[in-house]
Amino acid sequence: MDPQPTPDILANKCPRCAAAVDPRLTPDLPGATSRVTRDGGARVVVCGTCGEREAMRAGEDWEAVPLTDWPVSIDTLLSEDRLRLEFMRNCVIGAELIGADDAQAMLDGEGE
Ligand SMILES: [Zn+2]
């Protein structure tokens, strides 16, 4: 089941960071399902940036910020955003062209 937008998102506020979210400027709404609530709890939708922040925390083995500490403090958000920016700076994005035969071989699981 797709996550349903939470009332906060509908009110144009991310419940995790409390930042204003304008649905007209954020075509990817409803954003991300918070990792805090993925395992059995009610799904809570956060903004896409908070989805990335939670992913960065998980990558660093930092504990998730519990719902009881939401909205997350500005200092914590800044720490998370430092991780995001460092990750984005060190990211290498590449692309290459492949032919139809190569594409079919990849789909067939060859060349692994
Ligand atoms: Zn947010």
Tell me the per-residue pLDDT of 57-112, one tens digit each, with 9 for 90 and over: 999 999 999 989 999 999 999 999 999 999 989 988 888 888 999 889 989 987 55
Q: What's the CA-to-centroid distance between 28 and ligand 1, angstroms?
A: 13
For 42: left if phi > 0, alpha if psi spans -120 to 50, otherwise beta; the answer is beta
* CA 47 to ligand 1 centroid distance, Å: 4
Tell me the domain boundaries of the chain: 7-107
Cα(21) to centroid of ligand 1, in Å?
Answer: 8
Question: Quick one: pLDDT band at residue 17, thresholds 50, 70, 90?
Answer: very high
pTM tops 0.75? no
The pLDDT value given to residue 62: 94
Q: How far is the CA of 50 from the centre of ligand 1 (A)?
A: 4
CB 45 within 8 A of CB 32: yes
Residue of 17, 87, 66 whose CA lies nearest to 46: 17
pLDDT reported for residue 100: 92
Rounded Cα distance, 9 and 46, in Å: 7
In which band, very low, low, confident or very high, does the pLDDT at 7 lie, cut at 50, 70 and 90? low
Mean of the per-residue pLDDT values of the chain: 83
